[in-house]
Chain A
């Protein structure tokens, strides 16, 4: 006959232990994550300059006003272009570099460092470097293009509203490809050699080996890279703010820089909070199903 009393006591002490261990992370989560979100939402229902003692309640007015501003939708559209770019650009280049290097090139360790190095530079420094690269008259990019006879194609990189976003994406590509490269490279190195050899013996071309064997087995790395890219696209701030402040004339603005400008450039804390709530919802809508889907596939592939 089992000793119920002993079991109950054991369960109780275990429960207390669990609660003690959980209390710290739960408190941190509540104080530093849940509370700011609730507080931001509350602020978004007010009109407040950030200093006066009493914010004025305005209901959903901030949300409605934003929906009537082309400036807001322009920033949102920019976030979406960044999403598309970050999912495709640095990701595919990183994969390409990883695949090239995985073929056992000479000086592999040197290239590994070179490819990854830009990612270790802080965003503001990257911005300062590229501000000079993109100087339209005597900057490095324009000078190089001129010297190879492509001067006619040189642009007003950061000053032309129709070019600036592509220029920013270029610097982002240089900065973040290293991350995608490193994750893919590690992933490729983890694929058992037998699979590749078996495919080769069966007569598969290198092209087939990559797409039919390596790439499907890289799925866990791909999830990490794509997931990070999506998150980066939504929270994008530093590169844009440090290089253009969202300009010229809002052309390169994303929601996070617009929120910052609205809050501290114009003292409209309530409206800035409304932008951040929109951003949270949009990021949730875009990223959550995607993370859910990808996580499910990881589970499936692990189960196999």
Chain B
């Protein structure tokens, strides 16, 4: 008898614990663990909670990156305890979760925030899967600009180059002056992001989307032409030993005057500022050759998993606040990123940020806003493209070029058969 009583008590405790869980704080998972990023997300959460006093949300850091986030989410979905909302990459990343029925359709919320009006067309494409919105854009960074050290350029008598001949000539001049011309960093992203400029120069905006949808093959003459252009320009300019550095180490090289230029995402501007390297005064940017008038971007969005009604309510209220002009500014100012919402007042940006904002606005008008190809491709194709591009940039031999084309084309065929390509 007494045994039964114990069992009953234990069950009671467990039941109350799980009830407490359901009533507990609604969580927003993200991986902004430090620095300006952390300040940005905290400012945004504070703003949203002030707007929605009855629907508080609590931020939770998942240390790491998109890959760590996937691992955590997978476990959470298995245990049926997903967060109210989370930081998600765009396009293919969202698609994987949508295909498995895990994400909440945000069509109603999208209508309330007038998503079709406040976000540029290129931005809308990558959060809509099958025509329905599944993510709310909030953290956008351009990745087609080259940062340069102004003092070095002045000393060498250089102007920001406009085309590839100009770029190569500038590199030669810098090298002759004892400065490494163009920085780059190890890992599967940075060489690939640099390659987008020669790629767009060769295949144009349309071709770029054709590669994303699997229509244009990696074995096409155009793709090889883009690789050859990359090899004879940027790869030739890269600093010695670039592959052994992280991107922050290369940014330090620019600050210290060892390296003249660095093609990196707009987040490098925040890093420079933190290092006491002032925008426009110490460093400036110019669009990589062939990308003038265009904007290639990397972006994160908030995704909302399916869940109980009250959790969904909190999540929806949060993303509505996050999409508003004030919410977007609350995040963008500390983080140093761009607000995807075009109604945000451009005066919130510093001088370099304002240049990025103008590039994005101009590209929007010209319908030339291009999302990061990495996330448009099926996940395994995009990841392999990044790895192969790093290998090619380290050793741009014909053998590596051919191997890259064969490997990627094989994966493209495989993904086409599996139907994992999408027309964005």
Give me the interface of A with B, judged by CB distance under 8 Å.
Answer: 49-53, 131, 134-138, 156-161, 244-245, 247-250, 261, 263-268
Contact = CB atoms under 8 A, between A and B. Distances in A.
B208 interface: no
B186 A49 contact: no
Interface in B66-113: 67-68, 70-71, 74, 77, 96-97, 99-102
Interface in B43-79: 67-68, 70-71, 74, 77
B188 A135 contact: no
A247 B67 CA distance: 16
A228 to B, nearest CB: 27
Interface string B250-271: 0001001010000000000000
Contacts of B74: 50-51, 264
B244 A159 contact: yes
B125 interface: no
The B interface is mostly helix, strand or loop, or mixed, namely helix
A284 to B, nearest CB: 26
Given A50-B70, A248-B243, A137 B253 contact: yes
Contacts of B101: 53
Nearest to A49: B96
A196 to B, nearest CB: 48
A135 to B, nearest CB: 5
Contacts of B77: 51
B187 A160 contact: no
B186 A51 contact: no
A157 B244 contact: yes
A160 B383 contact: no
Given A49-B100, A50-B74, A248-B394, A268 B241 contact: no
Q: Binding site of A, secondary structure by majority: helix, strand, loop or mixed?
A: loop
A51 B96 contact: yes
Nearest to B389: A249
Nearest to B67: A264
A136 B244 contact: yes
A53 B394 contact: no
Given A51-B102, A53-B100, A249-B391, A266 B380 contact: yes
Contacts of A250: 387
A12 to B, nearest CB: 22
A248 B100 contact: no
A249 B244 contact: no
A268 B384 CA distance: 13
A135 B380 contact: no
A52 B246 CA distance: 35
A55 to B, nearest CB: 11
Contact of A267 (B68, B96, B243, B387): B96
10 contacts: A49-B99, A52-B100, A135-B244, A136-B244, A137-B240, A137-B253, A158-B243, A161-B391, A249-B387, A268-B380
Given A159-B186, A159-B241, 4 more contacts: A51-B102, A136-B244, A247-B387, A249-B390
B388 A249 contact: yes
Nearest to B253: A137
Contacts of B367: none
Contacts of A131: 246
Contacts of B233: none
Given A135-B249, A136-B245, A160-B243, A248 B186 contact: yes
A267 B100 CA distance: 12
Contacts of B246: 131
Contacts of A138: 256, 258
Contacts of A248: 186-187, 243, 390-391, 394
B242 interface: yes
Contacts of B258: 137-138
Contacts of A156: 240-241, 243-244
B241 A137 contact: yes
B394 A267 contact: no
Contacts of A247: 186-188, 387, 390
A135 B245 contact: yes
Contacts of B202: none
Contacts of A158: 186, 243-244
B89 to A, nearest CB: 12
A267 B244 contact: no
A51 B100 contact: yes
Contacts of B100: 49, 51-53
B54 to A, nearest CB: 32
B201 interface: no
A286 to B, nearest CB: 28
Given A51-B77, A53-B101, A249-B394, A159 B245 contact: yes
A73 to B, nearest CB: 15
B64 to A, nearest CB: 10
A156 B180 CA distance: 15
A248 B186 CA distance: 7
Contacts of A50: 70, 74
A266 B387 contact: no
Contact of A159 (B67, B242, B388): B242
Contact of B67 (A134, A137, A265): A265
Nearest to A50: B74
B187 to A, nearest CB: 6
Contacts of A266: 379-380, 383
